[in-house]
């Protein structure tokens, strides 16, 4: 099994032998958002660049949601509905937590990971809306995106 501590400390996805009980526990936890981005030690491994980019997209999407909420724009409900349909619940809820499955797929697929593409499209959609919406433009001059 892939050991979460080795991923966080060394960005090491090499499967390790573990006891049966530990294997069952790891299998149960693989899709739970339990890994905070701050616990992952930065390395110079190229596959970690995709994680950095994905985290930047998730932060951007969080900021877009904040700008839409502050401006009380009607597009907030639309974007929230689209995000809820396309992304996993832990990605909808914020940008800090990742599942082991997210990290494993980012390591294997990089930018080809389907959630990576969806995040990019959603962030672009939200940023473009903020730039053209008169309601959002009022707070856009203070916007960390613009």
Which is more confident, 139 or 101?
101
pLDDT at residue 131 in the model: 87
pLDDT at residue 140 in the model: 62
In angstroms, rounded to a whole number, what is the distance separating the alpha carbons of residues 102 and 113?
A: 9
Three-state secondary structure readout of 29-57: HCCCCCEEHHHCCCCCCCHHHHHHHHHHH
Q: Are 31 and 99 in contact, with CB atoms under 8 Å apart? A: yes
Q: Are 40 and 133 in contact, with CB atoms under 8 Å apart? A: no
Side-chain half-sphere CA neighbours of 146 within 13 A:
18
pLDDT at residue 55 in the model: 95
Q: Among candidates 10, 11, 38, 29, which has minimal Cα distance to 95?
A: 38
In angstroms, rounded to a whole number, what is the distance separating the alpha carbons of residues 7 and 29?
A: 14
141: pLDDT confidence band, cut at 50, 70 and 90?
low
pLDDT digits (tens, 9 = 90+) for 40-76: 888 877 778 999 999 999 999 999 988 888 888 889 9
In terms of pTM, does the model score above 0.75?
yes
Residue 140, token pair as written in the block:
């856009």
Which is more confident, 114 or 131?
114
Within the chain, what is the greatest distance between any pair of CA atoms? Answer: 59
């Amino acid at each position: 099994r892939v050991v979460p501590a080795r991923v966080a400390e060394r960005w090491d996805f090499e499967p390790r032998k573990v006891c049966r009980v530990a294997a069952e526990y790891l299998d149960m936890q693989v899709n739970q958002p339990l890994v905070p981005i701050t616990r992952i030690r930065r390395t110079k491994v190229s596959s970690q660049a995709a994680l950095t980019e994905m985290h930047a997209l998730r932060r951007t999407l969080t900021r877009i949601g904040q700008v839409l909420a502050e401006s009380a724009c009607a597009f907030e409900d639309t974007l929230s509905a689209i995000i809820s349909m396309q992304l996993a619940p832990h990605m909808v809820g914020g940008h800090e937590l990742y599942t082991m499955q997210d990290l494993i797929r980012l390591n294997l697929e990089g930018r080809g990971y389907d959630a990576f593409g969806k995040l990019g499209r959603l962030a672009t959609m939200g940023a473009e809306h903020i730039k053209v919406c008169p309601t959002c433009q009022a707070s856009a001059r203070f916007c960390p995106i613009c």
